[in-house]
Amino acid sequence: MSENSKFISGLLLGALAGTALALYLNSEKGKELIANLNIEADHLKEDMHEGYDTAKEGVDELLTKARNLVKELEQKINHV
């Protein structure tokens, strides 16, 4: 099979796959799938924001403890 034949075969196969996907996504089941994917994407986005907020709170707490520890150590060093 020549390079041109392989290219044309690939092009036709891609066009057929794209057409089949477009037809499916425009059907009722396809529209339902898209709606479900959008809902799941929203849930994932919410989970990511919650995870970020939790991590940020943890880091802020650790920073506060570290700053307090540094202050305590400075006071001990200054009193020696």
Whether the pLDDT of residue 4 is over 90: the answer is no
For the segment 30-44, what is each residue's pLDDT rounded down to a tens digit? 999 999 999 999 999
Whether the pLDDT of residue 1 is over 80: the answer is no
Residue-averaged pLDDT of the chain: 95
Burial degree of 30 (CB within 10 A; 0-12, 13-18, 19+):
middle
Would you state the torsion angle of the CA atoms of residues 67, 71, 77, 79, taken in this order, to the nearest 10 degrees?
Answer: -170
Whether the pLDDT of residue 10 is over 80: the answer is yes
**Cα separation of 29 and 21, whole Å?**
12
Residue 2 confidence class, pLDDT cut points 50, 70, 90 = confident
**Cα separation of 43 and 39, whole Å?**
6
Whether the pLDDT of residue 66 is over 90: the answer is yes
